[in-house]
């Protein structure tokens, strides 16, 4: 899509007249992580399934049970190779903000400022119930 957008603007179409919608996962933002160019598709984490509520990463097509062995939903997503976006990992920057499609989460570390209703900072949250995330 970005290539097509580039070609269209190159031939003179106004950028504001080009509309697109992406249905896959957003590109990852993982500062400090070296990109090897090899992408592993999302998968269940290693080991036994957790005893907690289910977390569905909707864009990745993966449902996983929560385990308290993970410090946050972000850590679980990383264990599953679900594309993630983060920076501070402490509830400050909001880079990890993710839409909550269904279910409820709770903060294990209080964020500096809560995101909008219907969003969660996955670096600082755990599921309160079965949850479906736009991730």
Q: Does 54 bind ligand FES (CB under 6 A)?
A: no
Contact 18, 5 (CB under 8 A): yes
Identify the residue among 89, 100, 120, 127 touching ligand FES (CB under 6 A): 89
Q: Which stretch binds ligand FES (CB under 6 A): 11-19, 44-52, 53-61, 94-102?
A: 94-102
Q: Does 67 bind ligand FES (CB under 6 A)?
A: no
Q: To the nearest 10°, the Cα dihedral for 115, 78, 134, 36?
A: 110
Contact 116, 92 (CB under 8 A): no
What string marks each residue from 29 to 48 as x (binds ligand FES by CB under 6 A) or -? --------------------
The DSSP bridge pattern shows strands 54-57 and 131-133 to be: parallel
User: Do you know the residue count of the chain?
Assistant: 135
Identify the residue among 42, 80, 86, 127 touching ligand FES (CB under 6 A): 86
Q: Does 133 bind ligand FES (CB under 6 A)?
A: no
DSSP code for 28: P
Nearer to ligand FES, 54 or 87 (CB): 87
Contacts with ligand FES, residue ranges (CB under 6 A):
86-89, 91-96, 121, 123
């Amino acid at each position: 899509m970005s290539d097509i957008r580039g070609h269209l603007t190159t031939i003179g179409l106004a950028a504001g007249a080009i509309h697109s919608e992406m249905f896959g996962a957003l590109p990852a933002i993982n500062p400090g992580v070296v990109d090897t160019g090899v992408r592993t598709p999302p998968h269940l984490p290693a080991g036994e399934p957790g005893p907690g509520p289910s977390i569905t990463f909707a864009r990745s097509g993966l449902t996983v049970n929560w385990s308290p062995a993970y410090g946050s939903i972000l850590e679980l997503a990383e264990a599953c190779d679900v594309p993630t976006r983060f920076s501070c990992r402490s509830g400050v920057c909001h880079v990890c903000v993710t839409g909550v499609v269904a279910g409820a989460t709770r903060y294990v570390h209080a964020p500096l400022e809560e995101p909008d209703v219907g969003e969660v900072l996955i670096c600082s949250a755990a599921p309160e119930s079965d949850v479906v995330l736009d991730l």
